[in-house]
């Protein structure tokens, strides 16, 4: 016997007849068709969303809301003047130097902040610098170059 599309069928016991829901009491699934009695889930299209909590005040509405997340905030990696004070005189402090020294570890803009004394002349190239940090570097004879416009804050 050759195999043809007309005589291919599943193995014996592999399939069973579908339940004919709501087709009379003889089927065992007549009347309510396996949906119980009344209620939203017995109706056509009666799907309840996953977040629905039975009519009680939903969790996202009953928990207190606090604060504000500014989507435009620039999160700087801060570097204090004291962290670069150990650099030899005449060194250019930039991202590469700070990463090599282990002061800066992640990507993103860098901001120089005051804190500590500086006695050596350094050239500092960062994204932003505070006014007091800039004064501290310039007082030691160095310069601060900021790469972003209006970065003195």
- In tens, the pLDDT along 99-153 reads 999 999 998 999 999 988 898 999 999 999 999 999 999 999 999 999 876 556 5
User: How long is the chain?
Assistant: 153
Q: Which domains does the chain have, with CATH numbers?
A: 77-146 (3.100.10.10)
The average pLDDT across 4-17 equals 92
Q: Sheet harboring 110-113: ordered strands across?
A: 77-80, 110-113, 128-129
Contacting residues for 40 by C-beta, under 8 A, at least 6 apart: 46, 48
The pLDDT of residue 149 is: 61
Q: What is the pLDDT of residue 2?
A: 83
Question: What are the Cα distances from residue 55, in Å, to 51, 63, 115?
Answer: 11, 16, 56
């Amino acid at each position: 016997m050759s195999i043809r599309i007309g005589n291919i069928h599943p193995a014996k016991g592999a399939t069973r007849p579908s339940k004919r829901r709501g087709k009379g009491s003889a089927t065992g699934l007549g009347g309510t068709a396996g949906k119980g009695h009344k209620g939203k889930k017995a109706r056509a299209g009666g799907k309840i969303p996953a977040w629905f909590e039975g009519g009680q005040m939903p969790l996202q509405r009953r928990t207190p809301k606090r604060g504000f997340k500014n989507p435009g905030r620039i999160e700087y990696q801060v570097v204090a003047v004291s962290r670069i004070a150990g650099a030899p005189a005449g060194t250019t402090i930039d991202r590469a130097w700070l990463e090599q020294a282990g002061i800066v570890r992640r990507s993103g803009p860098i901001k120089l902040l005051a804190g500590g004394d500086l006695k050596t002349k350094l050239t500092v190239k960062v994204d932003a610098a505070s006014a007091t940090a800039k004064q501290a570097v310039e007082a030691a004879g160095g310069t601060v170059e900021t790469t972003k416009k209006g970065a003195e804050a």
